[in-house]
Structure 1
């Protein structure tokens, strides 16, 4: 089976490409660096010839509100149209647990548009919702740092390592289209403050961390459980503390 991975050279994409290859599938990593640009449509028709499955794990190069909206709207529209013309039978997209609850954020509004386009396309599809990645603890802290203090909302989070996200995407890609959303999360829920503190401490980052009722998550207000998966989520096995230990 031929599988085209859009964003196949990135953090998740490269792991998905490797995982599908281990399953014996013909896998193509598609990205601007390989001559495929979903934003312009360049190279799409050629790379999708003979493909049965398309996995989209691409992301916008800019997180500015209008830029990210333009990216997901244009790239998803171009990709779905090209898939229909090529006879692709399964579209798999990676998105985020809680997207529909995070619409105060321009990024998550754009991800919601992406999901809505997929659902309305008529193409057989599966959407994988993952929680925040272990690897992004520092980046999340950087986005809410003022001076030497990290300001975090009072909320819970159930993060997951990127390897386990990629494994979930691979499982979904080799299965039948679900016509809906499947969720994947790590094995432990933390207060957001605890998650960030553990991540920064492991990197000897001295920033102070505070819970701030005015703080947002990429621009969106959070309730206590906004970032948590539902009861039917697939729970991966890698614990955050164990992963941190392996990074040293």
Structure 2
């Protein structure tokens, strides 16, 4: 199959490209640096010519509320229109577990809007919803500094390694469209403040960590259901445990 990966040079995209190329598929890693811009539409017609599947794992360069909404809605509309013209048979998109349950976050609102555009479109689709990546645990802490201290919620989180996310996205790309959603998560649950504390310690962060149930996570308060799948019986669990990932 010819498979076009939008955001194909990023963290997840580059891994998906490697997996699918290794399986013998004709894969194009599409990105603005390579002249393919889903937001403006530049290069889409040529990149999608003859494509069977389009995988969208692109991320907004700005997380300001208006910017991120414009990015995900604009790029999705442009992609679906170009896919319709090219005769693409399957649209795969990466999204976030429980995005609709965090409406105070502009980023989550934008991901929900993206999902709705895909669902309302004419292209058969699969949406892969993932929990937060293990790779971002330290960054979450560094972005949660208030008055010199790192303030973190003790809510449950079930982080997943990017390798496992990429494997799930690649699997979806070569399977039949679900016209629905699949969820993926890591194999373990942690308290957010504790797992982020471990990640920060590993990089030598010395600022104090304050556990605060009211601490915001991308603009929204959390509870124990916010960052974990509703039911592990219906979710695909990644293989890589946090300790093993950290040793890697």
TM over 0.5: yes
Return the TM-score normalized by structure 2.
Answer: 0.97
Partner of 1:67: 67
Report the Cα offset of residue 142 of structure 1. Answer: 1.6
Q: Find out whether 1:2 has 2:2 as its counterpart.
A: yes
Q: C-alpha offsets along residues 91-148 of structure 1, whole Å, 9 cap, x if unaligned?
A: 0000011111111100110111000000000210000001111110121112211244
Q: Unaligned stretches of 5+ in structure 2?
A: none
Partner of 1:217: 217
Partner of 2:245: 243
CA RMSD of aligned residues (A): 0.9
Q: Find out whether 1:172 has 2:172 as its counterpart.
A: yes
What is the alpha-carbon distance in structure 1 between the residues aligned to residue 4 and residue 82 of structure 2?
Answer: 12
What is the alpha-carbon distance in structure 2 between the residues aligned to residue 58 and residue 210 of structure 1?
Answer: 33
Q: Unaligned stretches of 5+ in structure 1?
A: none
Q: Find out whether 1:56 has 2:56 as its counterpart.
A: yes
What is the alpha-carbon distance in structure 1 between the residues aligned to residue 149 and residue 183 of structure 2?
Answer: 32
8 A contact 2:54–2:88 mirrored in 1: yes
Return the TM-score normalized by structure 1.
Answer: 0.97
8 A contact 2:84–2:122 mirrored in 1: no
Q: Find out whether 1:85 has 2:85 as its counterpart.
A: yes
What is the alpha-carbon distance in structure 1 between the residues aligned to residue 171 and residue 25 of structure 2?
Answer: 13
8 A contact 2:213–2:222 mirrored in 1: no
2:111 partner SS: helix
Report the Cα offset of residue 216 of structure 1. Answer: 1.2
Q: C-alpha offsets along residues 170-207 of structure 1, whole Å, 9 cap, x if unaligned?
A: 01101010111101111100010111011111112112
Partner of 2:123: 123
Segments of 4+ moved more than 3 angstroms: none
Question: Which range moved further: 213-222 or 123-132?
Answer: 213-222
What is the alpha-carbon distance in structure 2 between the residues aligned to residue 196 and residue 208 of structure 1?
Answer: 12
Q: How do 1:32-51 residues align onto structure 2 when only pairs under 5 Å count?
A: 32-51=32-51
Partner of 2:181: 181
Report the Cα offset of residue 50 of structure 1. Answer: 0.5
Equivalent of 1:233, from 221, 232, 235? 235
Partner of 1:132: 132
Q: C-alpha offsets along residues 69-107 of structure 1, whole Å, 9 cap, x if unaligned?
A: 111111110000000110000000000111111111001
8 A contact 2:152–2:212 mirrored in 1: yes
Q: C-alpha offsets along residues 211-238 of structure 1, whole Å, 9 cap, x if unaligned?
A: 1132111001212111101320001110
1:154 partner SS: coil
What is the alpha-carbon distance in structure 2 between the residues aligned to residue 124 and residue 146 of structure 1?
Answer: 44
What is the alpha-carbon distance in structure 1 between the residues aligned to residue 149 and residue 182 of structure 2?
Answer: 36
8 A contact 2:45–2:82 mirrored in 1: yes
